[in-house]
Amino acid sequence: MTQATGQNAKDKSITKDSRSALMKGHPVSSFSNSAVQLKSSWLEQREELNRAYLHQLNPDRLLVNFRVNAGIQTDAKPLEGWESPQCGLRGHFVGHYLSACASMIEKDGDTLLKRRITYMIDVLAECQQKLGGKYLSAFSEKEFNTLETKFSGVWAPYYTFHKIMQGLLDVYTLTGNKKAYHIALNMSEYIKVRMDKLSDAEIEKVLYTAEANPTNEAGGMNEVLHNLYALSKDPAHLKLASIFDRKWFSQPLTDDKDILSGLHSNTHIALVNGYARRYENTHEGDYRDAAINFWKMLNSHHSYVNGTSSGPRPIATTPTSRIAEHWGIADHLSATLTGEIAESCVTHNSQKLTARLFQWTASPLYADIYMNTFYNAMLAEQNKENGAIVYHLPLGSPRKKAFLKENDFKCCNGSGNEAFTHLNSNIYFHDQQNIWVNLFISSVLNWKEKGIAIEQDCQFPEDNKTKITVSTKTPTQFIINLFVPSWAKRNTIILVNGESIKAKINPMSFVQIDRKWKTGDQIVMCFSYDFHYKSMPDNENVIALFYGPTLLAFKTEKELILKGTHDQIISGLSKQTNGSFFNLKNNGVVYELVPLYQITNESYGVYATIRNEY
């Protein structure tokens, strides 16, 4: 028997009730990487492009600067870009690399990467021993001396330290390499010794990051130390992590005060992911509120139409801050469309936070933003031909995606490599017995503990439907919660074994299918796509166009100026019969549009301006 109910998200914000429910434990959890495999599809091809890049890197070249710093002889040629021997951030990419490889190893046991990571951890352990058993980095610890005495003059040593520590923890938690865990423990002891010598006032100067492009950016030091505490349960790790939390930033967020304007986005979003981890460890409501309030202000007042953020700083004091990497005045977005908005690292960190908040709440609000950002930002960052990643994803017109070279080794190379090992990570969630389906991606979920498997087949979003087939060891009663996104405003059809469900299907909700499931049971979800637009919060005449879930990009070499009313523009849109191509007829011009995630080297535009004065 099938029961289906629509659970609507009436609240546009997190209510008091749901906050108190949070304290009782998280309603849903994600599945492990190994439980969910992508099936052959365009998304799996994106994952494989990323894997090929991880395979092609040479471990000895990745380790050059670590060996040199530890006084160990090496004949390997140094890498280039931000991993060159002259760059202050050298070593940071190695941390991302460890995390990305650990994820692939956990997912499907990639033997080449497993051998390589074992080798790299052995070398890193050797380097740490040569350096006295605590310190480990690709640069000298003198960098920390400079940071603690001059409070500048170095490029973010803690940022790099965090990446390496997190890489080590990921290798431990995802592949079971205990040596990696011990290296990270030693590194935390090194930090403790440094911090114990500093006064509160000195620590404040070392970690205060309110200026433009802060060179003392500490990355997710608080997050990795909260992660370490979750494993070790050593109160010293919690105490050390809390030093990096910085009350000047967390308290206004707890109080729901938007202080984001002028702050460097990737520096501070990393801190919020740390607050979320702190709350998960300690259940301190202040840090839960800081994370939830931040997410709301980010998505309601500082984000572009595809869930991305960062751009020009209102008061620009560095060349970068004139065009990139900072949050601006709340809701003032239409005049920020430089060629360098929407840093990919920021997008990946915001997706991490969104996925975490979904686990705390099971709210469709988070599922909706996650799906939008997944297709229209994250996948749009990667070159579908060769897997290269952009640093920025411009949304004005005319713009081009400036893909990073594979030997740039910039922050977004590293975070992009990590992100594309997690395409399978947030498709499904579960509680004690029930399953949530948040994304429509061809994949297999194998919930071994319950003897339940779910197979999803689709070409979403190009095709507007998905088919879900259930297998169970024995017939089992549980609920499958099916996500109905905000854009699915009409005529969504859900069939269970060919029969239409009776419940009303509301956008921005989970439809619950509660029945005794047996092998071969099948769900089909079919959506109706409409053309629609979203305006900038500060200018209703700056618009972006969607077809169902998909953000459309104009192929254009000129600035996009449209005429007519919003409705007239929407009625000028049509879908072409072959593939995902669209036309817009407007003011005597026929524009060609494609999904933003399909743009590679073409000149394009996303936001268009409506002007009727001339």
Binding site for Zn ion (CB under 5 A): 343, 345, 411-412
Chain mean position to CA 471: 31
Nearer to Zn ion, 163 or 430 (CB): 163
Sign for the CA dihedral angle at 549, 555, 558, 564 comes to negative
The least CB distance from residue 320 to Zn ion, in Å, is 12
C-alpha count within 13 angstroms, C-beta hemisphere, residue 210: 11
The least CB distance from residue 439 to Zn ion, in Å, is 24
Nearer to Zn ion, 347 or 492 (CB): 347
User: Distance between CA 121 and CA 104 in Å, rounded?
Assistant: 16
User: Distance between CA 60 and CA 78 in Å, rounded?
Assistant: 9
Length of the chain: 614
Task: Enumerate residues 6+ apart whose C-beta is below 8 A from 463.
Answer: none
Task: Enumerate residues 6+ apart whose C-beta is below 8 A from 469.
Answer: 454, 455, 456, 457, 520, 521, 522
The least CB distance from residue 404 to Zn ion, in Å, is 9
The least CB distance from residue 213 to Zn ion, in Å, is 12
Nearer to Zn ion, 343 or 368 (CB): 343
Nearer to Zn ion, 298 or 412 (CB): 412
The least CB distance from residue 410 to Zn ion, in Å, is 6
Are 374 and 597 in contact, with CB atoms under 8 Å apart? Answer: no
The least CB distance from residue 82 to Zn ion, in Å, is 10
Amino acid at 269: I
φ/ψ of residue 496, rounded to 5 = -115, 120
Are 245 and 284 in contact, with CB atoms under 8 Å apart? Answer: no
Nearer to Zn ion, 69 or 373 (CB): 373
Strand partners, 29: 430
Nearer to Zn ion, 258 or 408 (CB): 408
The least CB distance from residue 413 to Zn ion, in Å, is 8
Nearer to Zn ion, 68 or 345 (CB): 345
User: Distance between CA 482 and CA 470 in Å, rounded?
Assistant: 14
User: Distance between CA 559 and CA 319 in Å, rounded?
Assistant: 24
The least CB distance from residue 96 to Zn ion, in Å, is 10
Nearer to Zn ion, 143 or 343 (CB): 343
Q: 228-234 — which CB contacts under 8 Å span 24+ positions?
A: 228/165, 228/169, 228/184, 228/185, 228/188, 229/281, 230/277, 230/280, 230/281, 231/169, 231/172, 231/173, 231/181, 232/185
Nearer to Zn ion, 98 or 131 (CB): 98
* Helix, strand, coil shares, percent, the chain, to 5: 40, 20, 40
Sign for the CA dihedral angle at 160, 161, 166, 171 comes to positive
Nearer to Zn ion, 34 or 383 (CB): 383
The least CB distance from residue 346 to Zn ion, in Å, is 7
CA 237, 242, 245 angle in degrees (round to 5)? 140
The least CB distance from residue 8 to Zn ion, in Å, is 37
User: Distance between CA 550 and CA 580 in Å, rounded?
Assistant: 10
User: Distance between CA 562 and CA 288 in Å, rounded?
Assistant: 43
Two tokens, residue 72 = 């160990």
Nearer to Zn ion, 337 or 412 (CB): 412
User: Distance between CA 546 and CA 372 in Å, rounded?
Assistant: 11
The least CB distance from residue 158 to Zn ion, in Å, is 16
Instruction: Tell me the longest C-alpha to C-alpha distance in the chain.
Output: 72
The least CB distance from residue 412 to Zn ion, in Å, is 4
- Residue whose entry in the numeric block shows the structure tokens 């956990």: 106
Nearer to Zn ion, 267 or 372 (CB): 267
The least CB distance from residue 227 to Zn ion, in Å, is 20
The least CB distance from residue 325 to Zn ion, in Å, is 8
Nearer to Zn ion, 276 or 393 (CB): 393
Nearer to Zn ion, 98 or 458 (CB): 98
When computed from its CA atoms, the radius of gyration of the chain, rounded to whole angstroms, is 24
User: Distance between CA 147 and CA 215 in Å, rounded?
Assistant: 9
Are 409 and 57 in contact, with CB atoms under 8 Å apart? Answer: no
The least CB distance from residue 345 to Zn ion, in Å, is 3
Nearer to Zn ion, 292 or 380 (CB): 380
φ/ψ of residue 570, rounded to 5 = -60, -40
From first CA to last CA, the distance across the chain in angstroms is 62
- Residue whose entry in the numeric block shows the structure tokens 């070398």: 123
